[in-house]
Amino acid sequence: MFETVIGLEIHAELNTKSKIFCSCSTRFGNRPNENTCPVCMGLPGTLPVLNKEAVRLAARAGTALHCSVNRVSRFDRKNYFYPDLPKAYQITQYDLPLCEFGYLDIETGQDRPNGTRRTHRIGISRIHLEEDAGKLIHPEGETVTLLDYNRAGVPLIEIVTEPDMRSPEEAVAFLKALKSILEYTEVSDCRMEQGSLRCDVNLSVREMGKTDFGTKVEIKNLNSFREIQRALAAEGERQKKQYCSGGPDSILPETRRWDNGRGRTVTMRSKEGNQDYRYFPDPDLPPVFLDRSLLCPMRNGIPELPEQKKERFLREYGLNPYEAGLLTGEKALAGYYEEVVGFGVDSREAAHWILYELLRIRKEAGNREIPVKSRYLADLIQKIGEGRISRNTGKDVLMEMVVTRKAPGEIIREKGLSQISDPAELQKIIRGVLSRNTDAAQDYKKGSAKAIGFLMGQIMKASRGKANPNLARVLLEELLS
Ligand SMILES: [Zn+2]
């Protein structure tokens, strides 16, 4: 029996307008090399100037993740040669990082509505500030590599965890919780598809019961939760097999990459040690001193975080942990939910329509935005509650609202979707159905339970789905008795 040991290194781009050591824009999607200057291009004679906002955001992340924020930290040079790094060194923090000794409590086992909640505390060893590198572009079918330095010098935090995770599921749960905190605190926009949140993982295996760690293998540049989950699962299996056939020493310390197509990890290079980078303090940047008067307001300025919000949703809205977890996992969604409830809609109905209808539509559209105004959704739910339209019609109206951006009342009027709740009108429809289905009416009188289902179906059909089903059933039973 084996145990898997997982640690993570997460890089998150900070939400600053300008780069960390110059005033170039950090905007994503500009023309290649538009956001560059002599400083971030590493030209001789230039000097870096630290962006205060980057320090503030990094310290804010540290505070939200229960770290101690160091009053003195320092920048170092990490030396290596690669074309995406114009200076041939990266400015980062080595032995005096900005934040240390934090943790994040995660919950697993609630990816299903009836899952049991289990809490684990994952240690965060450090959070340090550094600059991002540029991007290499390899155009398909050509023998050239293009360089885009727009990203060079964009501020990053690197968050390093303790090796506290024991399964790919825990690693993904940690990442989701972390992402949500960075979004809540507005430290990073965490757009994994744009590379503003990236993750390196390290994994080792050991025999159950042993306390020494096995040989650590790193997997670089994983860009989605699904990829991380699959890569960790595949690498765990590979190491267990290797351990069984060649013993623990046959697992080599190395850096691997994930081959998505073949569904396995492949060797990239042997692991470089820290001595290979020849770290030394950057002589161009003085140490960073943080004043106590800066740190206090920061602690008070942390907003309600996902975990606290979730507990409040459980208490205030009568939701189950699964629903509360989904709604609070995304700050904008939690806010939207509270807006809908604020219009006086039943809190459980609101959760149902958002989680099971609206999110499905949003997912199909592949969008981040919530496609319907909160006021319109509240209005729709109220109309269903009042029996003006049926639940099923409600789903069609919602779809129409997404497409046309119109208010539900307008769609119901235009399409003539109002539910028929007028007893006289319903009786007319029911009499018509009964006169065409005398056999079924006889069967009902003889006690056939099936007959009523059949007749209700006919009534719904005759009214083109608009009959108020509860009222129609009462009237049908009256007419048959
Ligand atoms: Zn620049």
Please tell me the distance between residue 82's alpha carbon and the centre of ligand 1 in angstroms. 19
Please give the distance, rounded to the nearest whole angstrom, from the Cα atom of residue 390 to the centre of ligand 1: 58
The answer to whether the CB of 219 falls within 8 A of the CB of 204 is no
List the shell of residues around ion ligand 1, using CB closer than 5 Å.
22, 24, 37, 39-40
Round to whole Å and give the CA distance between 293 and 277. Answer: 36
CA 40 to centroid of ligand 1, rounded, Å? 4
For residue 335, what are the contacts with CB-CB under 8 A and spacing of at least 6? none
- Give the whole-angstrom CA distance, residue 454 versus residue 440: 8
Ordered alpha helix ranges (H), 329-445? 331-342, 347-352, 359-365, 374-385, 391-404, 408-415, 423-436, 438-445
Alpha carbon of 151 to ligand 1 centroid (Å): 10
Residue-level pLDDT, tens digit, the chain, 481 residues:
899 999 999 999 999 999 999 999 999 989 999 999 999 999 999 999 999 999 999 999 999 999 999 999 999 999 999 999 999 999 999 999 999 999 999 987 765 666 667 789 999 999 999 999 999 999 988 899 999 999 999 999 999 999 999 999 999 999 999 999 999 999 999 988 888 999 999 999 999 888 899 999 999 878 889 999 999 999 999 999 999 898 888 888 899 999 888 888 988 877 666 678 899 999 999 999 998 887 778 778 889 999 999 999 999 999 988 899 999 988 999 999 999 999 999 999 999 999 999 988 888 877 778 889 999 999 999 988 887 888 888 898 899 898 888 898 888 888 777 778 788 888 888 888 888 888 888 888 777 778 888 888 888 888 877 888 888 888 888 888 7
Residues 6+ apart with CB under 8 A from 481: none
Distance CA 97, CA 180 (A): 23
Among the listed residues 148, 129, 152, 147, the one whose alpha carbon sits nearest the alpha carbon of residue 46: 152
**Measured CA distances, 79 to 155, 277, 342 (Å):** 18, 5, 55
User: Given CA atoms 181, 182, 184, 187 in this order, what sign does their dihedral have?
Assistant: positive
CA of 18 to the centre of ligand 1 (A): 8
**Euclidean distance between CA atoms 233 and 236, whole angstroms:** 5
Residues 6+ apart with CB under 8 A from 385: 345, 346, 349
76 alpha carbon – ligand 1 mean position (Å): 19
How crowded is the C-beta side of 71, counted as CA atoms within 13 Å? 6
How is residue 170 written in tokens?
């825990």
State the distance from the centre of ligand 1 to the C-alpha of 278, rounded, in angstroms.
25
Task: Estimate the share of the chain in helix, then strand, then coil, as percent rounded to the nearest 5.
Answer: 40, 20, 35
Q: What is the identity of the amino acid at 320?
A: N
d(CA 155, CA 93): 12
How much distance in Å is there from the Cα of 103 to the middle of ligand 1?
34
